Chains A and B, each alone.
Chain A
Amino acid sequence: MKWLLAALLALLAVSLLIGDATLALPDAPILWQIRLPRSLLALLVGGGLGLSGAVLQGGLRNPLADPGLLGITGTAGLGAVIAFYWGLAQLFAPALPAGGLLGAGIGAGLLLAFAGRAPSGPSLILAGVAVSAIAASLLALALTLAPNPFALAEITFWLMGGLADRSLLHVALAAPPILLGAAILLRLGPGLDALSLGEDTAASLGVPVARTLRLAAAGTALAVGAGTAVAGAIGFIGLVVPHLLRPWLGERPGALLAAAPLAGAALLLAADMLVRLAPLVLPLSAAPPVGVLTALLGAPFLVAIARKAAP
């Protein structure tokens, strides 16, 4: 845990020194207006993804659960795209993240409504699949109706997830919901521990199963929805983080909760730095979105997990 924190602080320091394809001590305005917001967002978004992944895998007793499973990533992206499509984002920059937050909120409402009054693991997953499907189809509709090819390219690029060109305003918008979500999720440890023996046993141990799952979904919606609203859909961090921590901290779900946000933050920060340095070593004209890298590295990891889990 101390190691993780030290690694995170070291990454943060290096991250402030690395620019888009440059390695130098920056001027004060660049530091404050470009690198600091970018690094802070990586911490917040990565931390939210890592923590949500650990909570969902524990709550659903499924090592393949990912925050994206609940569909909130989809509705947050849709909200941002709608704000973009109507030209609100061009008139008023914060409309994009605000649209994403609104989308995340509506998605969370739909999710909890679909999951029913007493959600269980399967009903929550089913609700997530339904919300994802709705978000995906409406997103496709928005893309078909895109006003011009330029907007279509912008939307597609944004949806891949990235931390470039964000300001302290984005940090201020995303931080409260992400921190509130994290506060909710961090308290679920004993309930998740009990759920590892199944919902019946957890209930017999006095754990309010439906309430625990609802809080897990709501906390994830806050943390991941707000993250998506400012940074687009960044995949695989939430899936991978718990798997990285288990060999080290053991498999008790509650034991992962404190470390998961630190690991998620460190992972996204590191991925973002790699992305910024990529044009130095690869023939790229610009830094690719960080979501591309996390998916590229996360997908083989997913296969490795599935192979290991299969008998």
Chain B
Amino acid sequence: MIGLSHATLALGGHVVLHDVGFAAGAGELVALCGPNGAGKSTLLRALAGLLPGTPGRDPRRVAYLPQGARCAWGLTVEQVAALGRIPHRDRVAAPVTNALELCGILGLRAARVDRISGGEARRAMLARAFATEPEVFLLDEPTADLDPAASHAVMRLLRATADAGRTVVVVLHALDLALRYAHRVVVLAEGRVAADLPASQALPAAAAAFGLPFGPDPEPRLLPPG
């Protein structure tokens, strides 16, 4: 369970969030969607307690993955994932190995994170969040840089994580992934919540936020695995 009520936040004199209320409960995968600059990342950072005036979070309970996270040094994939144990102040191996396995990069554990592909590095960052074994995941674009198969694999993992009782809040630009895997879609537009709907009903509101038409697509398309 994580949330904010009546959040109004200004960054550098520019109001980014206007009176936003947001809550996500245990067992829920919530997708935050909306155009560029709508305030999605700011809302996520506010939920993580990283902005001035927002309540701090227990780092053992809440894991946050920022947009475009990268590692400044050539740590191994396993060392990156092990950073997720810092809040617990332990060096237990099992959660780290488990996180690497979940994210599909156990075979790369000894590889340097600056010498693998962008998608693989992205999954190493995600494994770092899983290694913390938190109750709440706040993930900013975890499928950026991933190929379609890997994107579906990550979204399935996040859905299964939520179904196992955790809270997962994820900023997604890939609207099709949001509608397919999330329980609930929150559409942000210009710093306000434009819609907060079950994923099955969210398409019209999301399309409106982007100013795009929607309807059946007669062309053949890629389908999710299985």
> A and B from one assembly?
yes
- Some 21 contacts from A to B, beta carbons below 8 A apart, are A193-B83, A196-B72, A197-B70, A197-B71, A197-B72, A197-B80, A197-B128, A198-B72, A201-B64, A201-B65, A204-B57, A204-B62, A205-B59, A205-B84, A205-B87, A206-B60, A206-B86, A206-B87, A207-B86, A246-B74, A251-B74
| Residues of chain A at interface, number, CB under 8 A | 21
- Which residues from 64 to 113 on chain B have a C-beta closer than 8 Å to any C-beta of chain A? 64-66, 69-76, 79-80, 83-84, 86-87, 89, 112
> Contact between B76 and A204 (Cβ–Cβ < 8 Å)?
no
B103 to chain A, nearest CB (A): 15
> Contact between A205 and B48 (Cβ–Cβ < 8 Å)?
no
A204 to B56, CA, bound (A): 9
> Contact between A197 and B50 (Cβ–Cβ < 8 Å)?
no
**CB within 8 Å: A-B pair count:** 69
- Which residues from 145 to 200 on chain B have a C-beta closer than 8 Å to any C-beta of chain A? none
Question: Is the interface on chain B under 10, 10 to 19, 20 to 34, or 35 or more residues?
Answer: 20 to 34
> Contact between B73 and A196 (Cβ–Cβ < 8 Å)?
yes
Chain B interface (Cβ within 8 Å of chain A)? 45, 48, 50, 57-60, 62-66, 69-76, 79-80, 83-84, 86-87, 89, 112, 125, 128, 132
A166: CB under 8 A from chain B? no
A289 to B69, CA, bound (A): 45
> Contact between A205 and B83 (Cβ–Cβ < 8 Å)?
yes
> Contact between A194 and B83 (Cβ–Cβ < 8 Å)?
yes
Top 3 A-B residue pairs of the complex, sorted by shortest distance between their CB atoms: A206-B59, A61-B72, A204-B64
Q: Mark A164-178, 1 if CB is under 8 A from B, else 0.
A: 000000000000000
> Contact between A198 and B66 (Cβ–Cβ < 8 Å)?
yes
Take A190-B86, A207-B86 as given contacts and tell me if A201 and B66 are in contact as well, using a CB distance cutoff of 8 Å. Answer: yes
Chain A residues positioned under 8 Å from B48 (CB to CB): 204
A250 to chain B, nearest CB (A): 7
A187: CB under 8 A from chain B? no
